[in-house]
């Protein structure tokens, strides 16, 4: 009976394993040829294949159906990886599996980037696997005793686990450059290693852990509004024919800012939480290991010392405003760990005006203004994460008159996404002006810090007019400018996003030399 099971399983095991390597060959960027990879990568690849096949076999009881379904799933992951590389310059990694769940909850954020052709191909592959399994193959349990079937499946699973153990012993090195690791190790081995790395302890000390907090140098603590503006950057650098008045308020605020400049951020096109966590924690992505890809999965839940907690120790009430689902990126679980007292999500925007599919930036500005007006004697810190300029931009249409409104000269062809982007960018600019006006109307000093989380996804535009560096823009503005007697250096200062919070606190007088000596020592140690 064991021979019968082996003969029945051999085509699925051997043929499926070979086809899995062929499907992996479709990756863009491609992985290295099999014979040029470390032997441990093949042990992991085939170990994962055998273990997953054994699990599907127990459910489906048809070896060829199980192999076809597994191959269809692998093909889908390859297609998703290629789409991600095309739009975000990064392939699929282990940490991305949770986005499949998010894609079901928020399909508009993800599915359009896969592309209709890829989606159809994936559906056809899945349909073919189902047809092959249910129509062309009978369950093994109709020809084999149940005990033989179960023991054979168990042996298959143990073989996979043994190969994984062999691959694990080597502990293949990874650089956390996702594209480089994929080329070096192959898809399954790279994902396996990233999963292993996520389970390792990552003890970290943030700059705020060693900083003493207290009241400002003089007077009452000022209200602070920080806006992480979705996909915000000064796109006029890319196309000079864009009218300057698109960012009129931004130009005014930058001209009067304590500091302003370009910001080196931790993401390209998406993955907002990378920039978000870098700003709130003061930690560079290079120090996070595999957690740099999504620090909110595990790392941020360790109650790290953050900018938010520092401000709480200074007496601030801390609020986050984000007009989207609280569960997205598990912010509802992470933010209490980061130190926020209150999280206002999409439920706080019932009936709010939308611009495109999302709550508009001006509606978010009005929510922040109401918080500032209602603030009692306690200083308020509001961290805002906008949504209006979140893509996919190609799903929106250019409106009549917008080309003339946003450009001094007509843009090149294939720039409709850019025109839609400018519509939302102008609304972000109006939001900045509205917040400035509200802070100026309050009796006390107020601060406004503004920065973009990443550049937008516009691959066709970038192919036409050139690709941006990936840097966004920021400013730190204070009502009334610098306080009397303060020595503020030239306002232009290009930064990394993890250094923006420290600069902001120093500008507010909450970190003072030599009071922040330990912070500076910590940064030197980290660098």
For residues 171 and 404, what is the distance between their CA atoms, to the nearest angstrom? 58
Predicted pLDDT of residue 484:
44
* Ramachandran angles phi, psi of 91, nearest 5°: -80, 175
CATH of the domain at 283: 3.40.720.10
Q: Are residues 146 and 280 in the same domain?
A: no
Beta-sheet pairing, 472-478 with 446-452: antiparallel
Query: Do residues 275 and 136 share a domain?
Result: no
* Residues 348 and 444 grouped into a single domain: yes
Same domain, 176 and 225: no
The 3-state DSSP class for residue 282 equals coil
- Same domain (yes/no): 298, 188: no
* Token duo for residue 513: 């030399």
Residue 232 within any structural domain of the chain = yes
Any domain includes 376: yes
What pLDDT is recorded for position 110?
A: 66
Residue 437 tokens read as: 């006006």
- Residues 157, 242, single domain; the answer is no
- Return the structure tokens found at 490: 């030239």
CB of 435 closer than 8 Å to CB of 225: yes
Q: Is residue 515 part of a domain?
A: no
Same structural domain for residues 152 and 267? no
Encode pLDDT of 336-380 as tens digits.
999 999 999 999 999 999 999 999 999 999 999 999 999 878 899
Range of the domain at 146: 2-199
Among the three residues 471, 489, 516, which one is the final residue of a domain in this structure? 471
- State pTM to two decimals: 0.90
Residues in the chain with pLDDT < 50? 1, 484-485, 487, 513-518, 520-527
* Residue bearing tokens 């970290």: 204
Burial of 43 (0-12, 13-18, 19+ CB in 10 A): buried
Per-residue pLDDT at 76: 87
| 95 and 232 part of one domain | no
Residue 16 inside a domain? The answer is: yes
Q: Quick one: 232 and 330 in the same domain?
A: yes
Domain assignment present for residue 268? The answer is yes
Residue 65's pLDDT is what? 86
Residues 43 and 71 reside in one and the same domain:
yes
What pLDDT is recorded for position 152?
A: 84
Q: State residue 274's pLDDT score.
A: 97
Query: Does some domain include residue 211?
Result: no
Instruction: Name the domain boundary from 426, 456, 471.
Output: 471
Does one domain contain both 334 and 448?
yes
Does 70 share its domain with 177?
yes
Confirm whether 214 is domain-assigned.
no
Taking each helix axis as running N to C, give the angle between helix 248-255 and helix 416-441, from 0 to 180 degrees, rounded to the nearest 10: 50
* Phi, psi of 413, deg, nearest 5: -65, 165
Pairing of strands 380-385, 223-229: parallel
Q: Which of 141, 171, 199 is the last residue of a domain?
A: 199
Instruction: Report how many domains make up the chain.
Output: 2
């Amino acid at each position: 009976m064991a021979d019968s099971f082996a003969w029945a399983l051999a085509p699925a095991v051997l043929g499926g394993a070979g086809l899995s390597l062929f499907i992996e060959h479709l990756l863009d960027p491609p992985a290295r040829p099999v014979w040029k990879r470390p032997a441990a990568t093949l042990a992991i690849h085939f170990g994962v294949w055998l273990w997953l096949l054994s699990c599907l076999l127990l459910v489906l009881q048809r070896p060829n159906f199980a192999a076809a379904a597994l191959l269809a799933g692998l093909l889908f992951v390859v297609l998703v990886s290629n789409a991600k590389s095309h739009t975000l310059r990064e392939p699929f990694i282990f940490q991305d599996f949770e986005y499949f769940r998010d894609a079901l909850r928020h399909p508009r954020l993800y599915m359009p980037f896969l592309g209709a052709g890829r989606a159809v191909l994936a559906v056809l592959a899945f349909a073919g696997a189902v047809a092959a399994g249910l129509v062309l193959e009978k369950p093994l349990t109709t020809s084999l005793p149940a005990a033989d079937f179960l023991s054979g499946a168990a042996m298959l699973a143990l073989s996979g686990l043994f190969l994984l153990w062999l691959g694990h012993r080597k502990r293949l090195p990874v650089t956390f450059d996702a594209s480089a690791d994929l080329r070096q190790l192959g898809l399954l081995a790279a994902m396996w290693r990233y999963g292993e790395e996520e389970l390792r302890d990552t003890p970290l000390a943030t700059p705020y852990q060693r900083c003493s907090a207290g009241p400002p140098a003089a007077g009452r603590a000022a209200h602070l509004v920080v806006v992480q503006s979705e996909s915000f950057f000064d796109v006029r650098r890319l196309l000079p024919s864009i009218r300057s008045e698109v960012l009129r308020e931004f130009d005014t605020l930058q001209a009067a800012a304590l500091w302003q400049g370009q910001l080196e951020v931790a993401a390209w096109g998406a993955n907002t939480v990378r920039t978000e966590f870098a700003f709130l924690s003061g930690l560079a992505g290079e120090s996070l290991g595999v957690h740099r890809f999504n620090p909110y999965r595990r790392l941020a839940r360790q109650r790290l010392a953050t900018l938010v907690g520092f401000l709480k120790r200074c007496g601030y009430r801390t609020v986050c405003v984000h007009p989207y689902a609280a569960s997205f990126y598990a912010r509802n679980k992470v933010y209490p760990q980061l130190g926020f007292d209150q999280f206002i999500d999409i439920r706080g925007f019932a009936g709010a005006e939308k611009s495109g599919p999302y709550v508009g930036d001006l509606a978010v500005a009005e929510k922040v203004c109401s918080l500032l007006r209602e603030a009692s004697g306690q200083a308020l810190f509001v961290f805002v994460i906008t949504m209006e300029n979140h893509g996919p931009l190609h799903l929106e249409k250019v409106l009549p008159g917008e080309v003339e409104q946003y450009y001094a000269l007509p843009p090149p062809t294939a720039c409709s996404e850019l025109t839609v982007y400018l519509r939302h960018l102008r609304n972000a600019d109006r939001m900045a002006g509205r917040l400035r006006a509200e802070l100026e109307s309050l009796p006390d000093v107020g601060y406004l810090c503004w920065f973009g989380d990443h550049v937008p996804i516009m691959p066709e535009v970038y192919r036409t007019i050139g690709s941006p560096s990936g840097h966004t823009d920021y400013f730190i503005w204070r009502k009334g400018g610098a306080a009397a007697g303060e020595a503020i250096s030239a306002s232009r200062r290009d930064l990394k996003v993890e250094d923006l919070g420290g600069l902001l606190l120093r500008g507010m007088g909450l970190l003072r030399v030599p009071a922040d000596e330990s912070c500076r020592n910590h940064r030197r140690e980290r660098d």
